[in-house]
Structure 1
């Protein structure tokens, strides 16, 4: 559009149409204004960069489906993550992809927190959805920036790690042995001897035990790790196995039996740390007995040392230099 103004002839044009860039410029003569408007039209027709950005009208659910079919289905926990993503998508109203913004998710997570959902759970949903956009960008299925790239997760207060004392371990194993499930005590022993997760120990097969080692496959990280055990304990495990009862598996399921034994032993644990207390107990006693933090990292199968450092404070000499090197001690020495 060209119109006369006090300053001259004003070109007010949006050559790319609605959604395109708007140009406003004033010229001394009408001829100059028309020439400029014609030039703008030529640029739009010849240069794709001048054209308005095309909308992505796919729904968020479609992007999640793409992520799962091209990437998520190959992940160990892919099916579980896929299920969580779909629930979150439905709760947000399955928005159109290019209308999904950081504010969309920020509003959703605020509602989740208000409903009593733990910040850790909300952070996981954030991480899952952010990874969807990251992976689709790598696959060429998403051209725009990741809408959640700059959103920070909630800071979560680190929980104290519960571990069992020697007396509690002895009492718990006694209660497990008294129970009806004969596998529960042996699974607990595997966890205490190796630092394995309950699910890793419970799913062991006879082929995983050889040469005084237990090999854990199908782990959370997807990596195989082998942990040495006493020869006598290896023999105890072999004697425990009854092929007629469990086939190639060493144990039958015993999670409920463990929970009942914890209650009978009167052991109070933090929420979410039922069978995991055995893994914390292994790590805690390992460090208290002078174990090496790097060996513990490999034993637990942690991808990096950050997770393992939670147990460092239990080492006998942890931060002992503070006692010798603090300025108050220096004054006393003088």
Structure 2
């Protein structure tokens, strides 16, 4: 076993886990680490598991982790809306971890990779931006799903190597919404756009709670009987939302059956920049959906009705807007233990 420092101040681990018999080929491991401690930890992990020989169909399983990701995608991931996104994220992780064999992958390896991503160490060497704990929680879920699914399909014989890895506790993202005056300014700016669709897509988001791409892709077949249908959505939940006769009559009709609107996201971005709205990262167009939900609750809407309008499958997602209700937690005044007692005697 050899651990040495190279000219770039990196530590190189170079050894034969099962020894190197004379005149015979043997498995050799050569990897580079940022610290000597990481190199020693990896060497210890390999030596502790050197006796484990995973077998598949009578042969030693020499598949790489990347191979499992590809197999998962072909047999299951291809059916998911975000399957390509998951596959790309995991392939990047495989490359970052040294394109290791699947049976070498464990909690220690993922934890080390996760630490480097969060610190920005991998970002500096790969030009990929530093990530948040939420992103790493997603990658953890992706890899867990790969092993769970392949195990169900009989393609993985060992336990899920990440079954005991805990996700990071992440802070709930701020949900910004627009006040009446901000809505007016934004729509006025959208109406000045060369692309007429910009104004109407923004309006449709505000009256239905739709996501931008849902509203932008609405066709003549989806608006009928004063209702807008949203199908094949991100959450795979078909839903219809009613609109007022006045709004329906005001909508510009396309010259022929098909899409109501042209692509106008870039024009909307310019409109937002034009009115200088202070929005959290990642909520450029989504602020319209949050604005609908927030005003719906402030105006006395029902939280369960809101859940169906937004197309959520889990009430927890909708509960983020519950505190906007005028009577939210008002029972705290009436039902607290001092409600019938005069205080300050």
Question: TM tier, shorter chain?
Answer: 0.7 to 0.9
Pair 1:275 & 2:285 matched? yes
SS at match of 2:144: helix
- State the 1:263 CA deviation: 1.6
User: 1:198 pairs with 203, 212, 234, which one?
Assistant: 212
User: Contact 2:54/2:103 (CA < 8 Å) preserved in 1?
Assistant: no
Which residue of structure 2 lines up, in the alignment, with residue 6 of structure 1?
none
Tell me the distance in 2 between the aligned counterparts of 1:131 and 1:53: 20
Which residue of structure 2 lines up, in the alignment, with residue 254 of structure 1?
264
Tell me the distance in 2 between the aligned counterparts of 1:60 and 1:318: 49
Which residue of structure 2 lines up, in the alignment, with residue 303 of structure 1?
313
Which residue of structure 2 lines up, in the alignment, with residue 288 of structure 1?
298
Superposed CA RMSD in Å reads 1.8
Q: Any gaps of 5 or more consecutive residues in structure 1?
A: 1-17, 19-50
Q: Any gaps of 5 or more consecutive residues in structure 2?
A: 1-17, 19-51, 121-129
Pair 1:112 & 2:126 matched? no
Structure possessing the higher radius of gyration over alpha carbons:
1
Which residue of structure 2 lines up, in the alignment, with residue 71 of structure 1?
76
Which residue of structure 2 lines up, in the alignment, with residue 149 of structure 1?
163
Moved more, 81-90 or 174-183: 81-90
- State the 1:294 CA deviation: 0.4
- State the 1:232 CA deviation: 2.3
- State the 1:53 CA deviation: 5.7
Pair 1:175 & 2:180 matched? no
User: Contact 1:61/1:94 (CA < 8 Å) preserved in 2?
Assistant: yes
- State the 1:324 CA deviation: 2.0
User: Contact 2:229/2:240 (CA < 8 Å) preserved in 1?
Assistant: yes
Pairwise mapping of residues 222-241 of structure 1 onto structure 2 (< 5 A)?
Answer: 222-237=236-251, 239-241=252-254
User: Contact 1:191/1:279 (CA < 8 Å) preserved in 2?
Assistant: yes
Pair 1:95 & 2:104 matched? no
TM (normalized to structure 2)? 0.78
- State the 1:144 CA deviation: 1.1
Tell me the distance in 1 between the aligned counterparts of 2:266 and 2:274: 12
Tell me the distance in 1 between the aligned counterparts of 2:337 and 2:174: 30
User: Contact 1:208/1:214 (CA < 8 Å) preserved in 2?
Assistant: yes
Deviation string 1:85-130 (CA, Å, 9 cap, x unpaired) is 2111111112111111011111111100001311111111111111
Tell me the distance in 1 between the aligned counterparts of 2:246 and 2:63: 61
SS at match of 1:251: coil
Q: Which has the higher helix share?
A: 1
Tell me the distance in 1 between the aligned counterparts of 2:82 and 2:54: 36
Which residue of structure 2 lines up, in the alignment, with residue 263 of structure 1?
273
Which residue of structure 1 lines up, in the alignment, with residue 87 of structure 2?
82
User: Contact 1:200/1:218 (CA < 8 Å) preserved in 2?
Assistant: no
Tell me the distance in 1 between the aligned counterparts of 2:296 and 2:54: 59
Which residue of structure 2 lines up, in the alignment, with residue 32 of structure 1?
none
Which residue of structure 2 lines up, in the alignment, with residue 30 of structure 1?
none
Tell me the distance in 2 between the aligned counterparts of 1:276 and 1:150: 34
4+ runs of 1 displaced by more than 6 Å?
A: none
Deviation string 1:193-250 (CA, Å, 9 cap, x unpaired) is 111000111111111110111001121111211111112222322x34244xxx6111
- State the 1:52 CA deviation: 7.2
Pair 1:212 & 2:226 matched? yes
